[in-house]
């Protein structure tokens, strides 16, 4: 599978779907290995106030987040709690335990996994 997109992709609107695992979280898939033949997963993620996200790891992919709106904290193993809000950037290397929590304002982030998870 090529890591280079050969055709432009334009979306008029994002399609939010419930996250397959986390309660109170919606996800919009913009680029995926399955649909676009690229070795990254590029999404928008919406954490609602009260979202329940357990500690977890991405065994094979870095988790790269840029926050567009909202406020929360992300606990990262070896660092502790990191406050995030619009303009924050966080890279969590593959295999590092982490947990978004204390969502005090609905949070929207651009979330990229590299290499691809989907």
CATH number where 68 lies: 2.60.120.10
pLDDT the model gives residue 28: 96
pLDDT the model gives residue 2: 47
Residue 10 lies in a domain: no
> pLDDT (tens digit, 9 = 90+) per residue, 84-104?
999 999 999 999 999 999 999
- β pairing state of 62-76 and 89-92: antiparallel
Enter the pTM of the model. Answer: 0.90
> pLDDT (tens digit, 9 = 90+) per residue, 37-72?
899 999 999 999 999 899 999 999 999 999 999 999
Q: How many domains does the chain have?
A: 1
DSSP calls for 44-99: EEEEEEEEE---B--SS-EEEEEEEEEEEEEEETTTEEEEEETT-EEEE-TT--EE
Q: Within 13 A of 58's CA, how many CA atoms are on the CB side?
A: 20
Full domain range(s) for residue 45: 17-114
């Amino acid at each position: 599978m090529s890591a280079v997109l050969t055709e432009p992709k334009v979306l008029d609107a994002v399609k939010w779907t419930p996250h397959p695992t986390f309660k109170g979280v919606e996800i919009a898939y913009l680029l995926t290995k399955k649909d676009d033949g690229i070795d990254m997963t590029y999404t928008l993620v919406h954490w609602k106030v009260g979202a329940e996200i357990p500690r977890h790891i991405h065994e094979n992919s870095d988790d790269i987040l840029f926050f567009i709106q909202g406020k929360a904290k992300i606990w990262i193993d070896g660092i502790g709690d990191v406050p995030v809000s619009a303009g924050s950037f966080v890279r969590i290397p593959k295999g590092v335990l982490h947990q978004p929590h204390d969502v005090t304002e609905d949070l929207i982030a651009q979330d990229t996994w590299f290499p691809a998870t989907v």
